[in-house]
Structure 1
Amino acid sequence: MLAPYACDPTDSRGRLYPENESTFRSCFQRDRDRIIHASAFRRLKHKTQVFIEHEGDYFRTRLTHSIEVAQVARTIAGTLNLNTELTEAVALAHDLGHTPFGHTGEEALDALMEPYGGFDHNAQALRIVTSLERHYAEWDGLNLTWETLEGIAKHNGPVIGVLPYPLAEYTARHDLELDTYASAEAQVAALADDIAYNHHDLHDGIRADLFTSDDLMALPLVGGCFAAVDRAYPELEHHRRLHEALRRFFGLLVEDVMSVAQSRLQNLQAENAADIRHAGRSMVQFSDDIWIQLKDIRQFLFERMYRAPRVVEMRERVTMVVKELFPLFLEEPELLPREWRDDVAGAGDETALARIVADYIAGMTDRFALQEHERLMGREVL
């Protein structure tokens, strides 16, 4: 049974282009399935979180991260009696707009796109599912429901002020009410993202020898998890001990979010999904105490992982790849693949052309970006 404030597929606001409903899948199930089968989703396999793809087979990629986020989101949504299919759809789509080379690539592309309106990966995800996926006979994009598009656009909260170009362009045709909060399902997907990366970045950092278990034992929340494992299994070998401690840390975050969300939803007494959107604050959050301690963990990760010397060196190299490819394609758009040239021919000005180039580069995987750079520039970066 869904909660009264959950998104009911039978009450969906529908799709931009009307379709006949499936006889055996809800509209949110179809959204989830279309996302899984999208080309952009498959490319996440070769897009990285922190480490470049060739650095190791066991580090998280955008694809494995998205699957982990979807698993956490489903669990929380089910406990809160929300629509798990919509939650999963938003969770699986939330990173579709990421560039190659993680946030490093995004920062480089955003700087290059500054004269043309900038670049934002959340807005790019919406652009992908509404325009750049071109497989269907009757429309561009995946023709997802309003609720899924809303979740992709504003799962992190209302989008106010100057809108990124993809959001402004799309909402002019199909209003996603960006000044309100998203559904509870989308809010769950956003917090599941936080939970997943706080957990797996600690694990990946250990595997990369950027810090040790002793370092983690000094962190809030994590240190207590290690202590609990040591009490229960005093002779446990290193890898099992690490896994058990981080598993407890993972569970602690999930349980905290569920507890806070249950309390806030009970206090709100929401009668429908619209009450969630107009509540004035997110219903799905960490407790204040956990949030404060997570700030210390994030600071640790920033200093010891994201700004580690070997990571910074790699960031500088791959930043050069994006910085050299972008002006090259802008000056010589005939170098773009054949399927992109119709868009180039229809570009009315340099801004439109720059957005096409940004779309192309943003869609590259780490591997392909490196290969294209070597092919076009005649030298290896790594």
Structure 2
Amino acid sequence: MLLASYAADPASSRGRRFAEPEAPTRSVFQRDRDRIIHSTAFRRLVYKTQVFLNHEGDLFRTRLTHSLEVAQLGRSIARTLGLNEDLVEAVALAHDLGHTPFGHAGQDALNASMKAARPNEPLTDEVDWGFEHNLQSLRVVDALEERYPAFDGLNLTFETREGILKHCSRMHAERLLKAEPGGVAQRFVSGGCPSLEAQLCNLADEIAYNAHDIDDGVRSGLLTLEQISEVPLFDRYRRQALDAHPDLGGRRLLFESIRLMLSDQVYDVIDTTQARIAASGVETIDQVRVQALPLVGFSDEMKAESQKLKHFLLRNLYRHPQVMDTTERAAQVVTELFSMYLERLDEWPHSPLKARQPARAVADYIAGMTDRFAIREHQRLSGRVLFP
């Protein structure tokens, strides 16, 4: 792999929190990727919601297939830019490991439950943090996976963990820095950017979910091709597809339109990023990290068009009455599970946090559930069926 001078070089990694002998046949980032793929949290992603619950259809995206699509897009762009593909893949595969069952509905319900559990005095870290899936992804790889005899978590490299922590409030960053001075949260306090590989994964995530949510929205029947054609970005590629194939229709027209849109967005990111890198004059990863703004990104025109697509999906898919009905029931499952587990701590698996941080232990347990396990547990404990 021929790397650009500003790419993340595995030979110059900032290392792991616990020292380990190097693997004889794999770079440190390849090793990170392999650990992520073999983790329990990664396997659970196959039964975690993207937009539609797993039981609503066999072909809808899950958190696992979404992560694979992010990795594919990221690697394709990284290769052209001379970035480290293995690091991009590792970050992409791990970026959603902390997601709750039922997607953002589960996250919001768990965050509200944690904040409601806050005692009057004194404030404690376990509840004052609330719950946020991005922080939880880092927590999974740093502490919650139990696979190795010498340490908790997966002991990933700094660079992979830096990419996993995509966003973080200053309050949370300062608390993370108490445990890891100068660590992955430093940039959220002192300013700066993560590696180009991390920046790329963040954008590949957006590109992937915009495209596949169009596909899933039409497959579900909640969106029509005519509706999406109201979005200028999508309509441009639909017209291009019809110009090349006048008789094209149905799902083939949808797929070809999405394919053309994805390709154009990838090329836009490549061209824009190459121009920004050249203009910035960066030559090393350390110079990348002190930049005030990310170097990986869309052109202004593509960014504006992508925002319009996101707003369309928010109005017409994510807030569709059918999706909202599912969201409300999912939030009820998570909220009630949290309360029931706090009342029955002795009935669920051992956690070292149960005695001193019960609310956090319950949040960790629920966040690790798949959709169907959470539904079954709620039915078992409450005696009610919210998802027939």
Report the TM-score when normalising by structure 1.
0.94
Distance 1:168 1:106 in 2: 24
Q: Deviations over 1:42-92 (max 9, x none)?
A: 000000111111100111000000000000000111110011101111111
The equivalent of 1:374 in structure 2 is: 379
Aligned length: 372
The equivalent of 1:21 in structure 2 is: 22
The Cα shift of 1:168 comes to 5.1
Q: Deviations over 1:98-130 (max 9, x none)?
A: 000011101111111123121111100000000
The equivalent of 2:246 in structure 1 is: 234
- Cα contact 1:83–1:185 (8 A) shared by 2: yes
Distance 1:169 1:64 in 2: 35
Does 1:256 find its partner at 2:249?
A: no
Does 1:293 find its partner at 2:302?
A: no
Q: Deviations over 1:205-227 (max 9, x none)?
A: 00111121111222111101010
Q: Residues 150 and 170 (structure 1 numbering): CA distance in 2 closer, same or farther, change over 3 Å? A: farther
Which residue identity is paired with 1:204?
D
Task: Say what the alpha-carbon RMSD is for the aligned residues.
Answer: 1.5
Q: Residues 230 and 177 (structure 1 numbering): CA distance in 2 closer, same or farther, change over 3 Å? A: same
Distance 2:283 2:174 in 1: 34
Does 1:355 find its partner at 2:360?
A: yes
The Cα shift of 1:136 comes to 0.2
Which runs of structure 2 are paired with 1:315-354 in the superposition (5 Å)?
Answer: 315-337=327-349, 339-340=350-351, 342-345=352-355, 347=356, 352-354=357-359
Distance 2:31 2:211 in 1: 30
Deviates more, 1:363-372 or 1:167-176: 167-176
Which residue identity is paired with 2:61?
R
Deviates more, 1:248-257 or 1:29-38: 248-257
Which residue identity is paired with 1:362?
A
Distance 1:136 1:166 in 2: 26
Deviates more, 1:209-218 or 1:171-180: 171-180
The Cα shift of 1:237 comes to 3.4
The Cα shift of 1:246 comes to 0.8
The Cα shift of 1:173 comes to 8.8
Which runs of structure 2 are paired with 1:193-232 in the superposition (5 Å)?
Answer: 193-232=205-244
The Cα shift of 1:177 comes to 2.3
Q: Deviations over 1:237-275 (max 9, x none)?
A: 311111101111111111111111111111112121011
Distance 1:200 1:104 in 2: 19
- Cα contact 2:17–2:155 (8 A) shared by 1: yes
- Cα contact 2:342–2:359 (8 A) shared by 1: yes
The equivalent of 2:323 in structure 1 is: 311
Deviates more, 1:290-299 or 1:165-174: 165-174
- Cα contact 2:45–2:62 (8 A) shared by 1: yes
Which residue identity is paired with 2:285?
A
The Cα shift of 1:169 comes to 6.3
The equivalent of 2:40 in structure 1 is: 39
Report the TM-score when normalising by structure 2.
0.93
Which residue identity is paired with 2:135?
A
Q: Deviations over 1:139-162 (max 9, x none)?
A: 0000101111111113x5xx4521
Distance 1:88 1:292 in 2: 27
Q: Percent identity?
A: 48
- Cα contact 2:42–2:97 (8 A) shared by 1: yes
- Cα contact 1:94–1:122 (8 A) shared by 2: yes
Distance 1:168 1:326 in 2: 29
- Cα contact 2:162–2:184 (8 A) shared by 1: no
> Structure 1 stretches (4+) deviating beyond 2 angstroms?
164-180
- Cα contact 1:123–1:166 (8 A) shared by 2: no
Which runs of 5 or more residues in structure 1 are unaligned?
none
Which residue identity is paired with 1:343?
L
Instruction: Choose the corresponding residue for 1:163, options 167, 172, 176.
Output: 172
